[in-house]
Structure 1
Amino acid sequence: MFDGPIVEREYRLIMSFDLPVGSDVVGLEFYSPKKEDGDRILVVSAEGCASVILKTSGETERKWNLDCVPSCMFWDPVTQVLAVGSSSGHVSIFLQDAPITKVPSMHEGFVSSIGILGRFLVSGGSDGSIQVWR
C-alpha cells in the first residue's frame, strides 16, 4: 500500500479538474480510517501548532509547528503523515521527525479538503479545483 515516507518524494500533478463550489465554509477536521484511533483528536492552537491528543488522558501524542494558517487537515495514522491545506492555497506535509514538505499547488483560493489515499495526496480548493498528487 504505502512504500515509504511521503515527504521524501518529488510531487507532480497527475490529475486536475474543476467542480462547482457551493459553500465558503472552512473547517478543521480530524479523520482516521482506523476505528481504534477514534479516541484521538487533532487540535490546532492559536500559536500555530497542530497536535494529536488522546481524548481519555489529554496527553499529546504528536505535535507539529505549522507555517501557515490551516484551512483543513488530514492525519493518516497508518503512514503517520499530517497533510495541511492552507488559506493561501498551498499544501504542506509533516512527519513527526521530518522537515516540512510543501507541495506545489494551483489552488487559487483556500484548500477546502485534503486527504491521503495510499501514495496519492488529494486536495480540493475553494476555487472548485480538485488536484491529485503522486
Structure 2
Amino acid sequence: MDVRETNRRVIEQFRAGGPVEGMHRDRLVLLTTAGRRTGRPHTTPMMFHRDDDVLLVVASNIGAPQHPDWYLNLVADRAVDIEIDGERYQGVAEVLEGDRREETWAMLKVTYPFVADHETRTERPIPVVALRRT
C-alpha cells in the first residue's frame, strides 16, 4: 500500500465533502504541520477522539519503531492547522505527559482497541497529542 497516495486520496475526498472511502468521515481530522526541516506545510489525515473542545490524536504510526513525521514536525513547531467538520482553523498541539498521558492513553486503548494492538508492536511509548483551537 502506498501511504502517500492513500493520504492524498483521503484528503481530496475529505475536502470535497462527500464520503471518504474506507473511513468514517466523522472520526477524521486533517492536521497540517510545518516541516521541521523545510518549513513547508504537510497535511496528514488521522482519526481523532473528541474530549470537549480538545481533539486527541495518537502518534502510533501503526506500531512502527519510529514516531510519525507529523509528530516530529509538531514537536518542533506546535502551531498547526486543523480541518474538521467543514471548518479549518489554527491550533496548538500539546504532547500529553505524566499521569495525564497515562490516564488518557488507558481510556483510548479501551475505546479504540486497535491502538492497544499498535502498542504491542513497538517498544516506544506512543505519544498522545491534544489539539486546541487558538
- Higher strand residue share: 1
- Higher helix residue share: 2
TM range (shorter): under 0.3
TM-score by length of 2: 0.26
TM-score by length of 1: 0.26
